[in-house]
């Protein structure tokens, strides 16, 4: 895959690519899903609020959380950063705006 990775990071990448996911009606490893092609883009989203509401509002996170997603058309799959960085695709970055 990527020759600039250390041996430890290469092992982490291979472990992440071998993880199984259910894509109804079949089960594929992440690596098989990527190799099947059709990835149209990848996106990075920075969140500053929790994903679940507490009471009537979202709790502000102490640190920003970055989510990495690979897209095939309208279907997105959250992946680890190592996998995200290893895939060649057009990239978009979004960030939540503070509401004041």
23-67 residue pLDDT tens: 888 999 999 999 998 899 999 998 888 877 777 888 888 888 899
Please say if the pLDDT value at position 69 is more than 80: yes
| 74's tokens | 């309208």
Query: What is the overall mean pLDDT for the chain?
Result: 86
Q: How far is the CA of 21 from the CAs of 61, 65, 97, in angstroms? A: 29, 23, 32
What's the rounded Cα separation, in Å, for the pair 96 and 61?
Answer: 12
First to last CA, the chain: 44
- Using the 8-state DSSP alphabet, how is residue 17 labeled? H
Higher pLDDT, 22 or 52: 22
Residue 98: pLDDT band by 50, 70, 90 thresholds? very low
What's the rounded Cα separation, in Å, for the pair 43 and 27?
Answer: 24
What's the rounded Cα separation, in Å, for the pair 85 and 83?
Answer: 5
Give residue 96's pLDDT.
Answer: 64
What's the rounded Cα separation, in Å, for the pair 94 and 64?
Answer: 13
Whole-model pTM?
0.77
């Amino acid at each position: 895959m990527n020759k600039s990775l250390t041996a430890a990071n290469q092992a982490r990448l291979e472990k992440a690519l071998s993880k199984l996911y259910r894509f109804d009606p079949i089960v594929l490893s992440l690596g098989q899903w990527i190799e099947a092609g059709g990835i149209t883009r990848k996106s990075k989203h920075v969140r500053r609020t929790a994903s679940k509401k507490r009471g009537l509002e979202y709790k502000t996170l102490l640190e920003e959380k970055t989510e990495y997603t690979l897209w095939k058309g309208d279907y997105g799959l959250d992946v680890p950063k190592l996998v995200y960085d290893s895939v060649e695709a057009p990239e978009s970055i979004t960030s939540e705006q503070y509401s004041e």
